[in-house]
Amino acid sequence: MAGRAGRVWQSLLAAHPARTVVMGFAAVILLGTVLLMLPVAAEDGRSANVVTALFTSTSAVCVTGLVVVDTGTYWSGFGEGVILVLFQIGGFGIMTMASLLGLLISGKLRLRMQLTAQAETKSLDIGDVRKVLLGVAGCTLAVELAVGAVLALRLRFGYGESIWDATYLGFFHAVSAFNNAGFGLHADSLTKYAQDAWMTLPVAVAVILGGIGFPVLLELLRHRNRARTTGRRGWSLHFRLTVITTAVLLFAGTLLTCVLEWTNNDTLGPFDWDKKILAGFFHSAMSRTAGFNSVDVGAMTDATLLLTCMLMFIGGGSAGTAGGIKVSTFAVLGAAMLAEVRGEPTSAVMGRRLAPHVLRQALTVALAGVGFVMTATLALLAVVDKPFEEVLFESVSAFGTVGLSTGITGDLPTVGRLIVIVLMFVGRLGPVTLVSALALRERKRRYELPEERPVIG
């Protein structure tokens, strides 16, 4: 009987691989909660309460970066190590990590493991999963080592840190940046380095590379190798759509942040013009789901906070470490709107016609995201006495797995923290699960209903 139940369970997981991803994330979050509740995980040697441990574990695994206690002072070295492992696993992907370990140990992957890894990494073909896993591992290791080395050298020779402290701080922040986790070991994040390009630019590069999505990074490497042998280089629609939209959002975010905060004495005002641009670019990059800040977010103008909410909601690239509805979703919706304005019967992007089901999926993900954020904001407003703009910012930051905050996270009551925990989990896994579920439910209709047009607008 038990064997039959096990076979049924395995068949359900194989039929719905996204379900396995969700369960894997939940299991790692619970394990992280238990580890963070151990007395050895806290600096003072006392066990953290269950909500604090659960919030921190969820934030780490969902690569968000929101915290209710200061990471560098509350947690011990063991606790910080647990957090680092959690956001490395969370950013890399639960099933991607499990699949890679299985591949390294046995040299092969079972079909069920390939299906779950495919759902998480957005591999287009089952045959690509092995290459994708190794490519993801290689990209992750290369970027984290390179950025960690640069930060460690800067901290050692620019700030006089000891070799051990410089190495530890450099690589902790490099791993956190590439995974878009936003966890830092300073209470004020990276504000002390706001005008230091050798610190902020490597972090920004790691964030952008991690958030743009593994499919884009792997295609870049694959086409570079093919160009060497054939001299030809063609890019997929996903690559072009993601890269161009990301560049436009980075530029627009930098420009608008600088314009809105240029004379704000609590943020960019005291900086020289070149440092203002540096800080503006850093904030624009971090708003794409990273969570580090080089200026006080709570001191920003309402206009900048709204701009940041928009960037956080859009997020980064698909199948990467970023959150949000993803830039490809945003671009597809923009293409659909442009086609409607032009009166065209179909939507097209860069010489390619978009399939109708892609438009429906993009619209579903975006509207579901709006629904989650609005519901969470309403629930938080009912339990906390904070301004609306700060609560909305917190909700969007949690859903987008960003980690930026105006400073109200630590003041949230237990119910408020639980709401944010759910929102972080949904924000990390919601788009993946939703799109996978929609794809599995896609079917052809054998008949068409009579057409009628309701009044729009």
Question: Per 3-state DSSP, what percentage of the chain is helix, strand, and coil (rounded to 5)?
Answer: 70, 0, 30
Q: Phi then psi for 349, rounded to 5 degrees?
A: -135, 125
Q: How far apart are CA 316 and CA 403, in angstroms?
A: 14
pLDDT tens figures, 187-241: 888 999 999 999 999 999 999 998 888 778 878 877 766 555 555 567 888 889 9
pLDDT of residue 30: 96
Residue length of the chain: 457
Structure confidence by residue, pLDDT tens digits, 398-432? 999 999 999 899 999 999 999 999 999 988 877 66
Neighbours of 110 (CB within 10 A): 12
| Tokens of residue 79, six digits | 């606790």
Position 428 scores a pLDDT of: 84
E strands within 281-375? Answer: 348-349, 352-353
pLDDT at 354: 86
| Single pTM value for the model | 0.86
Angle at 140 between CA 136 and CA 146, to 5 degrees: 145
Q: Quick check: 267 and 194 in contact, CB under 8 A? A: no
Separation between Cα atoms, residue 389 and residue 416, nearest integer Å: 16
The region that residue 207 occupies, defined by phi over 0 for left and psi between -120 and 50 for alpha, beta otherwise, is: alpha
Indicate the pLDDT class of residue 435, thresholds 50, 70 and 90.
low
The secondary structure of 354-385, three-state, reads CCHHHHHHHHHHHHHHHHHHHHHHHHHHHHCC
